[in-house]
Chains A and B, each alone.
Chain A
């Protein structure tokens, strides 16, 4: 019974390159959330997706960031033309229900992105 799987665990990119972060939700979960944790800060919501739909992207930076959750395959968080300020831990979480008040999220181990 695998949990939320994220890969890679560590990703190093040079400024201007693209970063692709992958997340496979828990089996049976069709709701995916992405969070970002900057150094010395708490996690901050970025985007909420269901299969083939972006439901809430209010936490996504307006430029360079995009997310998808296709019908088949993992959810992808894509960062174009990375800058040093993008260096952070990116966590994916999944759940089996939509927006219930006491919804319990299951988090992956995260991807640590380092931009040189």
Chain B
């Protein structure tokens, strides 16, 4: 039962363009969503998050959008840089279970110079 889904295993974009990574979820109890970035042979590192009471959160080149009615969120990276090439994981949590994250399968982003 995959409660958090990232349907695109990979994405390739040109440097300077926008990268859009998508994530869908099924559990209405999720009220906090996070994006983690992972390089090979390293652990995931926190990137950006959003509470379910918001529909947008922005941090520099990274913006996360949340559409609760569609149970969908997306991560926008603009402009994309070669150093952004990594695997991006969407994760969700329930309010009283902070730290117990439900992860998607990940999307491997490749930014070409």
Q: Which residues of A contact B (CB under 8 A)?
A: 4, 6, 31, 33, 35, 40-45, 48, 56, 58-59, 91, 93, 95, 97-110
Q: Which residues of B contact A (CB under 8 A)?
A: 4, 6, 31-32, 36, 41-46, 49, 51, 89, 93, 95-106
- Known contacts A40-B105, A41-B105, A42-B106; decide if A107 and B45 are in contact (CB<8 Å): yes
Q: Please report the C-alpha to C-alpha distance between residue A93 and residue B89 in the assembled complex, in whole angstroms.
A: 15
In the assembled complex, the CB of A92 is this many whole angstroms from the nearest CB of chain B, namely: 8
- Closest residue of chain A to B44 (Cβ to Cβ) is A107
Which of A56, A59, A105, A106 neighbours the largest number of chain B CB atoms within 10 Å of its CB? A105
> Residue B31 contacts which of A35, A101, A104, A110 (CB distance < 8 angstroms)?
A101
- Closest residue of chain B to A32 (Cβ to Cβ) is B99
Q: Is the CB of B46 within 8 A of A104?
A: yes
- Known contacts A95-B99, A102-B32, A105-B99; decide if A4 and B43 are in contact (CB<8 Å): yes
Cβ of B100: which chain A residues have Cβ within 8 Å of it?
Answer: 33, 45, 48, 56, 58-59
